[in-house]
A and B are shown apart, each in its own frame.
Chain A
Amino acid sequence: MTSTIGFYSLTFGLVCSFLIIFFSVKNFNNSQFFDNKILSITFLQFFFVTISFFSLILAFVYSDFSNETVFNHSHTTKPLFYKISGTWGNHEGSLLLWLLVLTFFIFVFLLKSQKQKKEYRILTSLIQQVIIIGFFFFLIKTSNPFNYIFPVPAQGLGLNPILQDPALAIHPPILYLGYVGSSIIFSSALAATTLNYVSKDWAKHIKQWVLVSWIFLTLGILLGSIWAYYELGWGGFWFWDPVENVSLMPWLALTTLLHCILVLEKKLLLSSWAIILSIATFTLSMSGTFLVRSGILNSVHTFANDPERGLYILIFLFCLIFLSLFIFFFFFKFEKKKKNLFWLSKETAILINNWFMMYFLSVVLIGTIYPIFLEVFSSEKISIGPPFYNKLIIPFLVPFLLAMAIGPKLKWIKSNFENKKHLILFFIISLLLSILIIRNLDISFLLNTVLVTSAFYLFFITSRDFFVKGFKRLSQNIAHFGFSLLILSILFNNIFSTEVISNLKLGETLENENFKIKFENIKEINEYNYKSIKGKFTVQDLNGSNEIMYPELRIYNQPNIVTSEADIKTNLLTDKFMTMNYIQNQDYFNIRYQVKPFMLWIWLSVLLICFGGVISFIKKYEG
């Protein structure tokens, strides 16, 4: 029943798209004013998709196994919370969620842009509808969430247990808000280009959308990263896994765009940057969807491997890319005469920032795509891991951090280095401090000192600004401060982490120069939908402090999958992290114990960065 309602309201939603296009085209030439019918139909479309989405949720809640999606991804013994989150824990449902956000955002856009020009609003809505129609067809043709199964199975296949997790339940919706927000930026940038409306007003208007998408994208990545940290049990927060990279790429583009929009709003410069980045952000989000969903990449996100789906997104994606390139090259008015930028000005600093970001972006892009192409053309399989990224990114991080520290100090148009003694003073302090820290460690001295120095430098300079500037430019300062904190935490986390991996039997003790781990006992507990095997370990530190860790293995009944739950003891300064893995046909367990300093600060600093964005958003709303 719910499936029927869901499917029909989805179809009605698609019909709305055609109605909107019809009225938009009519309205575009004929009338002076914006036709409010478009707004109403957009709302209606959003309403239909919502109904469709809720009927899918209901089907999941009531475990209606006549629905194929529910059958494939749910089970009656699953807790209610994961039944609901299971709605978007699969390919079909998550696409429906994507569509829901798409229709919601264009509705909000039309609502919030009433002061803007009629043509601009209509054109944005039109381009957005093209994207929406693309997704409607994709959903209905290749991934219908409302397919029937007959005869109705008595039980479902269950949700992948590693997805049964609170962080992961909200990770997709948050990330989608970011991704889909970028579609509004995309449509609006194309509309503005076509109408030659790339102006300060446009920048001011679209900045809100950039901020919203950026905040959600950042939060979404953070959630995914936290989840990977405690659930996958690899004991890190970022693995340069292709799936992580595809979310990082739009983030890099969006962050750059955010800075460009600021320049555009103030000085009407970098307009071509802004447009290209708007296109790039959404294209990269879409490519991410393609790479992840088509099965070209392998990951927990690859729900189904259906070449037809991959082909559909691929063609759709390239149509959008070619459309946007066409619009850009035919309509975009390049600035006639290059305005000369003075080398020491905020504009130049942001331009430098842009180029750095583009460099990081291309490194990540190549690292992600190169293995795919290599496999296609030479059928050789490789995987690109942290060493590649470390080598290419770390050296450039140093000038980037320094530029980030000094850039915001500069004035628009032209500035000079008067009264800038503290810049040098802070540099010396940072340098001394890092030498002091790195000196006694067994790591490469020069590289680490330089890195830590530049991170400290940014840290001190942004900290000082809180006192000197107070509430002026608070959002930027918080975000930059958060970033310096992030880099510092990551560096210290890398430098001071200790790890031991070994195979232990019950009752055995492992001893090395840092700690002594004893495998005390093991307990089996039967839970609602899984069996838990909990180990008890006592860990004794060098300085005699004792810690009892309970890493856990979970054997889920439906589907039958073993997951390993790390036991993490978090405090302000360090995380202690232990995972246990079962080794087949052996009475040994594989134990991984890590002491990771400043883990909490990595999460907190990302939150701080987000908070900077939120403040900027609120402030602009008031003013």
Chain B
Amino acid sequence: MKVKFLPFFLVILLIFVFFGFYKGLQNSNIYTPEVNLKKNIPSFTAKLLGVKNEISSKEIFKDDVYYLLNIWASWCVPCRDEHKFLMDFSKSEKIEIIGINYKDKIKNARNFLNELGNPYEIIISDLDGTLSIEWGAYGVPESYLIYNQKILKKVVGPISLNNFFEIKDLVK
């Protein structure tokens, strides 16, 4: 009995797999590396820096607010260069700055902020770097301008004076 049931089940399963693949063939396409612009932000849950409990991306990013997501680390030298711009942004009411602390020691990160000031509303901790990968980051520093869950602009490397004014223009 058992033996009779098995082939029947297998055939059904295989036919199902066949049609899955058949359908898959039709909407397949060669991957084109898309630029991460106008793309929805990834959804994630992550720990805040130095805090145990987790926060989800939905709680962080609200609609109708501009966010600047900045990936940084205390050991990253160019991050120091752009910090003054972030401090400037933090004074503005139009934009909120979210930090992703990338592969860093909590103590070093704190020292860094004590020394240079803390522009971040929220700091997400990314100890193993996987979260930054989800964002499509190349490394540190990197920043994303976000509005209504969409990435409007991506800055690779430290924010330059030009980037600074560009972003100011965008959030006006």
Q: Which of B20-28, B60-68, B85-93, B112-120 contacts A (4 or more CB under 8 A)?
A: B20-28
Contact B22 A311 (CB under 8 A): yes
Question: CB-CB contacts of A291-313 with B at 8 A, as 1s and 0s?
Answer: 00011101000100101001100
Which one of A314, A510, A586 contacts B77 once the chains associate, using CB atoms below 8 Å?
A: A510
Bound: A305/B28 CA distance, A: 8
Question: CB-CB contacts of B20-39 with A at 8 A, as 1s and 0s?
Answer: 11111111111100000000
Bound: A590/B108 CA distance, A: 23
Contact A321 B14 (CB under 8 A): yes
Residues of B within 8 A of A307 (CB): 25-26, 28
* Residue of A whose beta carbon sits closest to that of B7: A329
Residues of A within 8 A of B30 (CB): 295, 298, 302, 305
Tell me which residues from 563 to 600 in chain A have a Cβ below 8 Å from any Cβ of chain B: 581, 583, 586, 588, 590-592
Contact B18 A583 (CB under 8 A): no
Smallest CB-CB A-B distances: 3 pairs: A512-B75, A298-B31, A501-B139
Q: Taking the complex as formed, is B10 at the interface, i.e. its CB lies under 8 A from any CB of chain A?
A: yes
Residues of A within 8 A of B140 (CB): 501-503
Residues of A within 8 A of B6 (CB): 329
A sample of 21 cross-chain residue pairs with beta-carbon separation below 8 angstroms, ordered by A number, consists of: A294-B25, A295-B28, A305-B30, A314-B18, A322-B14, A325-B7, A325-B14, A373-B24, A376-B20, A501-B129, A502-B78, A503-B157, A504-B78, A510-B75, A510-B76, A510-B77, A513-B108, A583-B138, A586-B157, A588-B156, A590-B139
Most buried by A among B28, B77, B108: B28
Contact A502 B139 (CB under 8 A): yes
Bound: A500/B140 CA distance, A: 9
Contact A296 B28 (CB under 8 A): yes
Return B6 CB to nearest CB of chain A, in Å: 8
Decide: A296 near B156, CB < 8 A? Known: A502-B76, A510-B77: no
Return B169 CB to nearest CB of chain A, in Å: 18
Q: Taking the complex as formed, is B11 at the interface, i.e. its CB lies under 8 A from any CB of chain A?
A: yes
Most buried by A among B11, B21, B130, B158: B21
Contact B138 A334 (CB under 8 A): no
Q: Taking the complex as formed, is A520 at the interface, i.e. its CB lies under 8 A from any CB of chain B?
A: no
Residues of A within 8 A of B99 (CB): none
List residues of chain A with CB under 8 Å of any chain B CB. Answer: 290, 294-296, 298, 302, 305, 307, 310-311, 314, 318, 321-322, 325, 329, 334, 369, 372-373, 375-377, 379, 387, 499-505, 508-513, 581, 583, 586, 588, 590-592
* Size of B's binding interface in residues, CB under 8 A: 38
Q: Taking the complex as formed, is B3 at the interface, i.e. its CB lies under 8 A from any CB of chain A?
A: yes
Bound: A565/B139 CA distance, A: 18
Contact B139 A591 (CB under 8 A): yes
* Residue of A whose beta carbon sits closest to that of B16: A373
Return A417 CB to nearest CB of chain B, in Å: 35
Residues of B within 8 A of A588 (CB): 156-157
Bound: A565/B14 CA distance, A: 43
Bound: A499/B132 CA distance, A: 14
Residues of B within 8 A of A508 (CB): 77-78
Bound: A334/B2 CA distance, A: 12
Contact A310 B28 (CB under 8 A): yes
* Residue of A whose beta carbon sits closest to that of B133: A385
Contact B25 A296 (CB under 8 A): yes
List residues of chain B with CB under 8 Å of any chain A CB. Answer: 3, 6-7, 10-11, 14, 17-18, 20-31, 73, 75-78, 103, 105, 108, 129-130, 138-142, 156-158
Contact A318 B18 (CB under 8 A): yes
Decide: A373 near B14, CB < 8 A? Known: A296-B28, A305-B28, A501-B138: no
Which one of B3, B11, B14, B139 contacts A592 once the chains associate, using CB atoms below 8 Å?
A: B139
Residues of A within 8 A of B25 (CB): 294-296, 307, 310-311, 314
Which one of B18, B20, B78, B139 contacts A372 once the chains associate, using CB atoms below 8 Å?
A: B20
Residues of B within 8 A of A311 (CB): 22, 25
Which one of A325, A500, A504 contacts B11 once the chains associate, using CB atoms below 8 Å?
A: A325
Contact B29 A295 (CB under 8 A): yes
* Residue of B whose beta carbon sits closest to that of A587: B157
* Residue of B whose beta carbon sits closest to that of A297: B28
Contact A583 B157 (CB under 8 A): yes
Contact B77 A509 (CB under 8 A): yes
Bound: A375/B14 CA distance, A: 18
Decide: A372 near B26, CB < 8 A? Known: A502-B139, A583-B156: no
Contact B157 A318 (CB under 8 A): no
Bound: A581/B158 CA distance, A: 16
Which one of B23, B129, B138 contacts A590 once the chains associate, using CB atoms below 8 Å?
A: B138
Contact B23 A376 (CB under 8 A): yes
Return B39 CB to nearest CB of chain A, in Å: 12
Q: A502-B76, A513-B105, A586-B157 are known contacts; what are 13 more A-B pairs with Cβ within 8 Å?
A: A295-B30, A296-B25, A296-B28, A298-B30, A298-B31, A305-B30, A501-B138, A501-B140, A503-B138, A503-B140, A510-B76, A581-B138, A583-B138
Bound: A387/B30 CA distance, A: 25
Which one of A318, A372, A377, A503 contacts B14 once the chains associate, using CB atoms below 8 Å?
A: A318
Residues of B within 8 A of A377 (CB): 20
Residues of B within 8 A of A502 (CB): 76, 78, 139-140
Return B73 CB to nearest CB of chain A, in Å: 8
Bound: A307/B29 CA distance, A: 10
Return B163 CB to nearest CB of chain A, in Å: 10
Residues of B within 8 A of A590 (CB): 138-139, 156
Bound: A243/B73 CA distance, A: 34
Decide: A296 near B139, CB < 8 A? Known: A325-B10, A588-B157: no
Bound: A3/B11 CA distance, A: 43
Which one of B20, B76, B141, B157 contacts A373 once the chains associate, using CB atoms below 8 Å?
A: B20
Return A495 CB to nearest CB of chain B, in Å: 13
* Residue of B whose beta carbon sits closest to that of A304: B30
Most buried by A among B7, B140, B157: B157
Which one of A305, A511, A592 contacts B29 once the chains associate, using CB atoms below 8 Å?
A: A305
Contact A290 B27 (CB under 8 A): no
Residues of A within 8 A of B103 (CB): 499-500
Residues of B within 8 A of A591 (CB): 139
Return A289 CB to nearest CB of chain B, in Å: 13
Bound: A106/B17 CA distance, A: 30
Contact A294 B28 (CB under 8 A): yes
* Residue of B whose beta carbon sits closest to that of A591: B139
